[in-house]
Amino acid sequence: MNDLHGENLDLADKLKDFVKSKGATLVGIAPVERFSRAPEGHRPKDFLPAATSVVSIGLRINKSAILQLPRTMREYKINYDVVNLKLNTLAWKTTHFLEDLAYEAMAIPASSPYDAKRNFGDMSHKHVAVAAGLGMFGLNNLVLTPNYGPYVRFVTVITNARLKPDEPLDNEVCLKEKCLKCVKDCPVKALDNPVYNAFEGWSIDKEKCHKYIHAVSGGDVCGLCIKACPVTRR
């Protein structure tokens, strides 16, 4: 069934049911128009010229391994790698689901490979998740989801299927100045003096963050800003 705008209402629901049946925690959809302010070369149509919809897929990460950081850095790293592998698998299955219906679909890698020199992915999974209504940015520059806080990682699928989009959230999730734990607990002060924007995020000191991650875990993970966040742990 299509509405007046040509959006396939049934397909959006079927796609969400399919992805969740394969293990996804969250699934949201955004139209490509919501990415008009993304950096040039990092917009959906830069990868799939006929793109009309962008699908965000979220998967919960293990909370216990993060809450015991930094002692459990290796355990968190395993968790991080497994979740990225599962996200890529979910995205791959989603592309096949859509291609089997004669649509084009392309997955953006959950993590590596990416532009390591600029510490920049092809598209920002966090911005896609916010645009698809799955969460909002917190002061830690992570996506905070209403039910799982920052304990979710995301992957992105671009498609030319005209899917019914989800609305962005309208209730902020971050506690902001009532909390500030992520700002205080960052060991290299990469989050100092944040300029809050729940929909667009902001520039943190990536160089400080990146250098610290290399120093403590060989360039893989840190997780202390996730640990600090009290959302869903209140």
User: What is the band of 154 on the pLDDT scale with cuts at 50, 70, 90?
Assistant: very high
Task: Return the pLDDT at 85.
Answer: 96
In a domain, 17, yes or no: yes
Mean local confidence (pLDDT), 114-135: 83
172 vs 23: CA distance, rounded Å: 27
In a domain, 3, yes or no: no
User: Mean pLDDT of all residues in the chain?
Assistant: 89
According to the 3-state scheme, what is the secondary structure of the chain?
CECCCCCEHHHHHHHHHHHHHCCCCEEEEEEHHHHCCCCCCCCHHHHCCCCCEEEEEEEECCHHHHHCCCCCHHHHHHHHHHHHHHHHHHHHHHHHHHHCCCCCEEEECCCCCCECCCCECCCCHHHHHHHCCCCEECCCCCEEECCCECCEEEEEEEECCCECCCCCCCCCCCCHHHCCHHHHHCCCCCCCCCCCCCCCCCCCCHHHHHHHHHHHHCCCCCCHHHHHCCCCCC
In a domain, 4, yes or no: no
Task: For 71-102, write each residue's pLDDT tens digit.
Answer: 999 999 999 999 999 999 999 999 999 999 99
Task: Return the pLDDT at 194.
Answer: 73
In a domain, 1, yes or no: no
Q: Which residue has the higher pLDDT, 111 or 114?
A: 111
Task: Return the pLDDT at 161.
Answer: 97
In a domain, 165, yes or no: yes
Task: For 9-55, write each residue's pLDDT tens digit.
Answer: 689 999 999 999 999 999 999 999 999 999 888 999 999 999 999 99
Task: Return the pLDDT at 111.
Answer: 83
The tokens 């989009």 sit on which residue? 165
Task: Return the pLDDT at 7.
Answer: 59
User: What is the band of 209 on the pLDDT scale with cuts at 50, 70, 90?
Assistant: confident
In a domain, 91, yes or no: yes
In this model, does residue 115 exceed pLDDT 60? no
CB atoms within 10 A of CB 36: 7
pTM for the predicted model, two decimal places: 0.91
User: What is the band of 232 on the pLDDT scale with cuts at 50, 70, 90?
Assistant: confident
Task: Return the pLDDT at 219.
Answer: 65
Q: Which residue has the higher pLDDT, 176 or 195?
A: 176
Q: Which residue has the higher pLDDT, 216 or 162?
A: 162
Task: Return the pLDDT at 3.
Answer: 43
- Number of domains composing the chain: 1
In this model, does residue 56 exceed pLDDT 70? yes
Q: Which residue has the higher pLDDT, 154 or 141?
A: 154
In this model, does residue 1 exceed pLDDT 60? no
Domain that holds residue 205: 9-228
